[in-house]
Each structure stands twice: as C-alpha cells, then as structure tokens.
C-alpha cells in the first residue's frame, strides 16, 4: 500500500482495495463482453441493439473508473491489465460464436445479472467504508437499469 493521510483504518482500507480489485476484474470483463456483443450482433434489430450495447459499454466503463480510482484513493494499486482481469474475473465466458440479436441479448443480460449480484454482495461487504459502499450502491442501481433495458428485448412483441 502507498502512504496516505486517509483516516480510514489500514485494515479496512486493505479489505476495500481487495474488494475493489475483485469487482474491477469483473467490471472490465463485463465491459469487454458488452463490446463483443456490440461488434458482433446481427439481425433485423441490429442498429437498436448495436447502439444499446455501446451504451452499456460506456456506462460500465464509468463504473470501471469509479472502482479503480477508489482503490487508489485508499492507498492501493489497481490490477486492471487484460491478463490480471482474465485470471480474476468470476463472470462466465462470453460465447464467441453467437450472432443473432436474441443470442446476444440472452448472453449480455446473463452477464449483467451476474455482475449485478456480485455488486450487491460488494455493497454488503463494504459497509465499513461508506464511500466505497456508496460507489457499489450506485453501480448496483445502474446494473438493474441496464439489465432491464437489455432484457426488454427478450419479451415478445405485443
């Protein structure tokens, strides 16, 4: 850890840094999965899904930055390289051979739901540090919103 005048106890800061790095790996993985969907979606709803998946990516990118910067604010180092993310992420692998809009909606909604569950767990685990907790609460709300928007494409047309 790096020296800091932050008054949060060192043991709490260490726990929060570890939690942030764990969720950071998942967030970066989710971001790349949303781009995978964005680049590869095909079908009659292409443009709507292509743009939606890019919006998901943009929002998740903001969450990546929030999580990473929080770890550094607490005196930690961030583990955000592709190799470290591949080792640490707990999200399921995104299917690489899918193409239809429905397949990508299914895959990305599953990834969003899984990450949302991990973030809600992080909310519980960060209760000792209200600022880190607040970040995870914000991300949890965002995940619910994006899951809703992506899942809406799974419902039949009325």
Instruction: Answer whether residue 4 is part of any domain.
Output: no
* Inter-CA distances, 67 with 17, 76, 77, 86, 150, Å: 9, 12, 12, 17, 23
CATH number at residue 42: 1.20.1260.10
Instruction: Answer whether residue 3 is part of any domain.
Output: no
Tokens 């685990």 locate to 125
pTM over 0.85: yes
**CB within 8 Å of 58: residues ≥ 6 apart:** none
Per-residue pLDDT of 81-133, as tens digits, reads 999 999 999 999 999 999 999 999 999 999 999 999 999 999 999 999 999 99
> By residue range, what is the domain housing residue 66?
10-154
- Domains of the chain: total: 1
Instruction: Answer whether residue 5 is part of any domain.
Output: no
């Amino acid at each position: 850890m790096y020296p800091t005048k932050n008054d949060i106890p060192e043991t709490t800061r260490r726990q929060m840094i570890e939690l942030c790095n764990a969720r950071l790996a998942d967030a970066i993985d989710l971001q790349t999965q949303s781009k995978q969907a964005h680049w590869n979606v095909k079908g009659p709803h292409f443009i709507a899904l292509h743009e939606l998946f890019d919006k998901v990516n943009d929002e998740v990118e903001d969450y990546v930055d929030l999580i990473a910067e929080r770890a550094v604010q607490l005196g930690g180092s961030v583990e955000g390289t592709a190799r470290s993310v591949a080792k640490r992420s707990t999200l399921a692998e995104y299917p690489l051979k899918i193409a239809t809009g429905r397949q990508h909606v299914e895959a990305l909604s599953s990834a969003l739901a899984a990450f949302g569950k991990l973030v809600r767990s992080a909310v519980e685990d960060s209760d000792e540090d209200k600022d880190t907790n607040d970040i995870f609460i914000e991300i949890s709300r965002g995940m619910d919103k994006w899951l809703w928007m992506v899942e809406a494409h799974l419902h039949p047309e009325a």
